[in-house]
Structure 1
Amino acid sequence: MAVERAVAELGVLIYPGAQMAAVHGLTDLFGVANRIAAEHQTAQLPLLRVSHWQVEDAQAPARCYASHPGADRALVAVLIPPSIGGFTEGQSPAGLIRWLRQQHAQGATLGGVCVGSILLAESGLLDGRSATTHWTSAKSFAERYPAIKLLADTPIVDDGDLITTAGLMAWSELGLRMVDRLLGPSIAASTARFLVIEHSDSASQCGSNFAPILSHGDASILKVQHWLQSTGATDVSLNAMAERAGLEERTFLRRFRAATGLKPTEYCQHLRVGKAREMLEFTNGTIDHIAWTVGYADASAFRATFKKITGLAPSDYRTRFGVTPPRQ
């Protein structure tokens, strides 16, 4: 008897010049992940359904076609593939930018590959946030979008609700990151192994990177989540979060936990540790400096929280997964 599974709708954007190999590659990657997940025969794992979207004119975006026509669920994520031709003004019509902002406001995670990162920058959603892009675009990107903290040497910047990647072929890592979030690290690793593509094993060994639940439908709580992502959850208080949501503190606590599955303090801890994991993997800053950067004045408290969430001390995590030699 077939197990009835929930559906997670993933949108892949098609724009003028989009690399169709990435569009179809992402679709196939999610198909492989679905097949591996189905072998577990459990209703706890959602079915990943892919729909392809494009802009027909400058006024309004429309779906071009979908793997399962007629799907009317809200999108869990929108993935923007790269373009071999590079970025031009014509790739960011007002209708597309408006649609991306609307999907984000409704709780979709947005992921951009290479030129896709530039489209996210054009939307303004990356202002005040960290991002990466292809090395050939780094100089112009930094000049054009000074409000964005460009991490040009980082292959992927996972900032929870916004993910950017640097390479033309990084669509596979973006796809695996979404599989990791929705189906778990073991299925992501199995998908990578089946497709014979590289995938960081930090998630499978230390738990998935922090993936906040954004598609819960509570607009007040989502507003706070977007704010926490943009500030890094540094120097925040329960009162400030409740004020941002426009709710009384007790009501905010109840609704936040119902929407996200975590208490606000736990949520902030996971968000900070997620950012610290990225810094430990891709930068050579000292652990004390990283602790301070992600919002911990007490480095020992940071070390304890990091180990509680990942199972490893920060130094051990860097030794195992870091790609940059530590600062002496």
Structure 2
Amino acid sequence: MAPLAEIGLLLYPGAQLGAVHGLSDLFSVANLLMTRRLADAAPRIRVSHWRGREDGGGAARVFDTDPGAPGEPDFIIMPPAVIAPITAEEAAPLADWLRERHARGATLASVCAGAFLLGETGLLEGRAATTHWFYANDFAERFPAVRMDADKLVIDDGDLITAGGLMAWTDLGLRLVDRLLGPTAMLETARFLLVDPPGREQRHYSAFSPRLRHGDAAILKVQHWLQASGGRDATLDAMARKAGLEPRTFLRRFQKATGLKPTAYCQHLRVGKAREMLETTTRSVDQIAWDVGYADPGAFRRVFLKVTGLGPRAYRQRFGLLAVREAAPPEEA
């Protein structure tokens, strides 16, 4: 059976090989457990390693669990650095290659100081990101247009994912297993490896994972814009202009590429950001509604219930941090 998706691990100068091999083993364990449970019907993850070319022309495969198979990575992970973050000069050729992969639909992810290589792509500008607390100030000085949030262990922004601590590759790896193989596979993998599953993956309601590998460049451009802006000011006319298409043509192509109408897509995007705030902050539901672009809190509650199956208050009680649940003021669901 062909693999469900390919995850590429980038061996940039100074990358921590322990994390590269650990992630490779984690995905292999997930595949093994899926095969034992579902036999020939089991989906699986293809794993590859990539190293920068000596001539500076991007990166080439140096390891592949499916050698000779066609395709390119759906996800590219930049692991931690062993001693110090990559320099801008070292990063330049790889940053170009990463931007090209992202433009073709790949999701980019970093761990710890790997965020510096992701930062050099320019794709994080205006977006939230995390890295190891030790490097947070250096990152903020080097990339002032990025909203650094070193308090977060993982920030999953759809097409860009950043993980903080040196060992946060386990959290990132489990998050990707959850995305690709589902929560049961994620929990089985965590149990097998004797590591704690990340809290967000234990929810009963999956995070929004947009389709990005559909091959429609005009629609992908709009998706990247929506992800960066949080879906604000995302009128049909604005999205069609961004795509360079007539509204009727845009609607047809957007639904074909993403599986959702633009309105539903933006609702999922906003609810995803609201979930994060409900899980990790004490902000009121009304404040969160405003933050994610809803002027009417009642409309936000209805959309949240439709997407997740829970009201915002019930969601916070079930999935919020203990301190958040204790501190949150009572309010209507």
Fold-level similarity (TM above 0.5): yes
* Secondary structure of residue in 1 paired with 2:126: coil
2:172, 2:188 → 1: CA distance? 15
Q: 1:231: Cα distance to partner?
A: 0.4
Identity %: 55
Question: Match for 1:33: what amino acid?
Answer: A
Is the 1:92–1:119 contact (alpha carbons within 8 Å) kept by the matching residues of 2? no
Corresponding position of 2:165: 167
Indicate conservation of the 8 Å contact 1:114/1:133, yes or no.
Answer: yes
Partner of 2:16: 19
- Report the Cα offset of residue 165 of structure 1: 0.9
Residue type of the partner of 2:56?
Q
CA distance in 2, matches of 1:321, 1:220: 36
TM-score (norm 2): 0.92
Paired residue secondary structure (1:93): helix
For the pair 1:103 / 2:101, whether they are aligned, the reply is yes
In angstroms, what is the RMSD of aligned CA positions? 1.8
Of stretches 113-122 and 191-200 in structure 1, the one that deviates more from structure 2 is 191-200
Query: Is residue 15 of structure 2 the alignment partner of residue 33 of structure 1?
Result: no
CA drift of 1:305 comes to 1.5
1:10 corresponds to: 7
- Quick check: 1:207–1:310 contact (8 Å CA) kept in 2? yes
CA 1:133 to 1:189, structure 2 compared with 1: closer, same or farther past 3 Å? Answer: same
Q: Is the 8 A contact 1:115 1:134 kept in 2?
A: yes
The list of structure 1 runs, each at least 4 consecutive aligned residues, that deviate by more than 4 angstroms after superposition, is none
Of the three residues 213, 228, 231, the one matched with 2:229 is 231
Mapped to 1, the partners of 2:254 and 2:88 lie a distance apart of: 40
Structure 1 residues 152, 327: CA separation in 2 closer, same or farther (over 3 Å shift)? farther
1:56 correspondence with 2:53? yes
The answer to whether the 8 A contact 1:272-1:295 is kept is yes
Cα distance in 2 between the residues matched to 1:281 and 1:172: 20
Q: Is the 8 A contact 1:58 1:94 kept in 2?
A: no
Q: 2:272 aligns with which of 265, 271, 274?
A: 274
Between 1:104-113 and 1:143-152, the stretch displaced more is 143-152
Aligned with 1:245 (options 239, 243, 246): 243
Name the SS of the counterpart of 1:36 in structure 2. Answer: helix
Which residue is equivalent to 1:197? 195
Is the Cα contact below 8 Å between 1:189 and 1:201 reproduced in 2? no
> Per-residue deviation at 1:202?
4.1
The amino acid across from 1:251 in the alignment is T
Q: Please name the residue that 1:136 is paired with.
A: 134
Give per-residue Cα distances to partners, 1:222-273, cap 9 Å, x unaligned. 0110010010001211111111111122221111111111111111111111
Q: 1:69 to 1:42 in 2, by over 3 A?
A: closer
The residue type paired with residue 50 of structure 1 is V
Q: Which amino acid aligns with 1:134?
A: H
Aligned residue for 2:7, secondary structure, equals strand
AA at the equivalent of 1:153: D
Relative to the length of structure 1, the TM-score reads: 0.93
Verify: 1:313 aligned to 2:311, yes or no: yes
CA distance in 2: counterparts of 1:65 and 1:123, whole angstroms: 24
TM superposition shift of 1:195: 1.4
Provide closer, same or farther for how the CA distance between residues 12 and 91 of structure 1 changes in structure 2, counting only shifts above 3 A: farther
Distance 2:296 2:302 in 1: 10
Q: SS of the counterpart of 1:13? A: strand
In structure 1, the gaps of 5 or more residues are none
